Amino acid sequence: MDVVVSSERFQSRFEVFSQIGETDRSGVNRPSLSDANKLARQQIVEWFEDAGLTVTIDEMGNIFGRRDGSTTDASPVLFGSHIDSQYNGGRYDGVVGVLGALEVIESLNDAGVETDRPLEIVAWSNEEGVRFQPDMLGSGVFTGVFDLEYAYSREDSDGNTFGDELERIGYRGEHPCEPRDIHCYFELHVEQGPYLDEQDLSVGVVEGVYGFSWLDARFGGKADHAGPTPMHLRHDALVATSDIITAVRRLTASGGSDLVGTVGSVDVYPNSINVIPEQVEFTVDLRSYDNETVDQAVERIRTEIRCAAEREDVSWSCEEIMRVDADPFDADCVKTVERAAKAVDAEYMRMVSGAGHDANYLNTVCPTSMIFIPSVDGVSHTEGEYTEWEDVVVGANVLMGAVTEQATITETTELHQ
């Protein structure tokens, strides 16, 4: 299959789309179910229909566009991403995967190519999770991870529910949002990390997603006056916390593994310039593609917390509030993406994603893989997010190759199915 996408048409659509909710600094502000998100949805639905797709909106507001295949009762190849953004986020995050999917359809239309399997493209609701938590809510309900009622009940900081806001913008569809028979799923997405840019590559063939552990920890010391309290009688919860921040950094350096670790949140009480910190609550985020590495890191940090508490004679607690195993994508789908990257002579590497995506949830119900394209300097979730347009086009062509290969029914894929 030698169909390639039209860079010009794709870019022209991308520029038009980037004006919806555009910010002063060339980003976009289209958080989930906002008015700007509504306008973006209207544009997507219009373009899907213009491309001859059958559009359905499901109960979660996920937008599907279907192109029939020659084998009408075959399960479809699904591909897409999301169009909601961070507050003042970037133009590429999610959008390249949805508009890239649309461009694949248009190019197949132009080339008059009919696939064996139906093709479905999708824009998932509420991937970012900045207005309504948790993130990846649309794909989560679609794959049975969350109940619909749970999703509807999620509230933003003003107390508006997801369900009411979805109704308000007119995107609470009739179609059931539930697991169904999908042949496989592909997602084109910006890397949101620096690896591809650092190595000057155009494509990442994504083998899976890091597992992670989230720890919620606390030290409890004694709030004394910073003046009259001698050093040897202090029980400073912040000094103990600082030991852990250092320990997390040291652990990632000394483990000889792919472990990354972050203390992202610290809350000090009473947080006063002349009072010794009585209590500190903090979080630890530990990630690796190897589950055992994450488990060992959790144990190590727990030991560090216990030792720091002993040194400073403070109380401590440490609770694992979330634990997600590493998520290896389907080996066959990963190979499909790799073949597609080779077919267009893309400079690529196999890699693992540090962050979660809708693809993670899809991977629980059907064979899945992802295609990454570079984020310059690894920047994402800000207005400064940028990807060279040539790389976006290469990514869409890899998506084209992966989708069309999997949409072709051969004896092998039949067996696989």
119 in contact with its own copies (CB under 8 A): no
Task: Select the span of 3-11, 16-24, 70-78, 253-261 touching its own copies (CB under 8 A).
Answer: 253-261
Task: Select the span of 177-185, 270-278, 390-398, 400-408 touching its own copies (CB under 8 A).
Answer: 270-278
Task: Select the span of 113-121, 160-168, 340-348, 374-382 touching its own copies (CB under 8 A).
Answer: 374-382
Q: In the complex with its own copies, which residue's Cβ is closer, 148 or 245?
A: 245
Q: How far apart are CA 291 and CA 300, in angstroms?
A: 14
Among 68, 356, 364, 409, indicate the residue that binds its own copies (CB under 8 A).
356
Binding mask 186-225 for its own copies (x = CB under 8 A): -----xxxxx--x-----------x-x-x--------xxx
Q: How far apart are CA 138 and CA 342, in angstroms?
A: 32
262 in contact with its own copies (CB under 8 A): yes
Among 159, 200, 274, 411, indicate the residue that binds its own copies (CB under 8 A).
274
- CA distances to 75, 239, 316 from 231, rounded to whole Å, are 69, 12, 20
| Cα–Cα nearest to 305, from 251, 224, 386, 226 | 251
Q: In the complex with its own copies, which residue's Cβ is closer, 253 or 415?
A: 253
| Cα–Cα nearest to 60, from 145, 157, 160, 174 | 174
Q: In the complex with its own copies, which residue's Cβ is closer, 168 or 350?
A: 350
| Cα–Cα nearest to 214, from 180, 170, 173, 261 | 261
Q: How far apart are CA 361 and CA 221, in angstroms?
A: 42
Q: In the complex with its own copies, which residue's Cβ is closer, 76 or 277?
A: 277
Cβ of residue 16: shortest distance to its own copies, in angstroms? 28
Q: How far apart are CA 88 and CA 130, in angstroms?
A: 11
320 in contact with its own copies (CB under 8 A): no
Among 19, 153, 199, 272, indicate the residue that binds its own copies (CB under 8 A).
272
Cβ of residue 187: shortest distance to its own copies, in angstroms? 15
| Sequence-separated (6 or more) residues with CB below 8 Å from residue 116 | 69, 70, 71, 74, 407, 408, 409
249 in contact with its own copies (CB under 8 A): yes
236 in contact with its own copies (CB under 8 A): yes
Where residue 183 falls (left for φ over 0; alpha for ψ -120 to 50; beta otherwise) is alpha
Q: In the complex with its own copies, which residue's Cβ is closer, 60 or 247?
A: 247
Element (H, E) at 184: strand 184-190
Q: In the complex with its own copies, which residue's Cβ is closer, 27 or 69?
A: 27
Task: Select the span of 22-30, 45-53, 143-151, 347-355 touching its own copies (CB under 8 A).
Answer: 347-355
Q: In the complex with its own copies, which residue's Cβ is closer, 60 or 96?
A: 96
268 in contact with its own copies (CB under 8 A): yes
Q: How far apart are CA 73 and CA 410, in angstroms?
A: 15
Q: How far apart are CA 76 and CA 157, in angstroms?
A: 38
Q: What does the longest C-alpha to C-alpha distance in the chain come to?
A: 83
Task: Select the span of 63-71, 167-175, 255-263, 387-395 touching its own copies (CB under 8 A).
Answer: 255-263
- Dihedral angle of Cα 56, 60, 63, 69, to the nearest 10 degrees: -60
Task: Select the span of 44-52, 167-175, 185-193, 390-398 touching its own copies (CB under 8 A).
Answer: 185-193
E strands along 45-125, which residues?
54-57, 63-67, 77-82, 119-124
Query: Distance of alpha carbon 281 from its chain centroid, rounded?
Result: 27
349 in contact with its own copies (CB under 8 A): no
Q: Determine how many CB atoms are found less than 10 A away from the CB of residue 35.
A: 11
Q: In the complex with its own copies, which residue's Cβ is closer, 152 or 212?
A: 212
Among 149, 200, 231, 319, indicate the residue that binds its own copies (CB under 8 A).
231
Q: How far apart are CA 100 and CA 114, in angstroms?
A: 18
The residues of the shown chain that bind its own copies, judged by CB under 8 A, are 191-195, 198, 210, 212, 214, 223-231, 233, 236, 238-239, 241-243, 245-246, 249, 252-253, 260-268, 271-277, 283, 285, 287, 353-356, 378-382
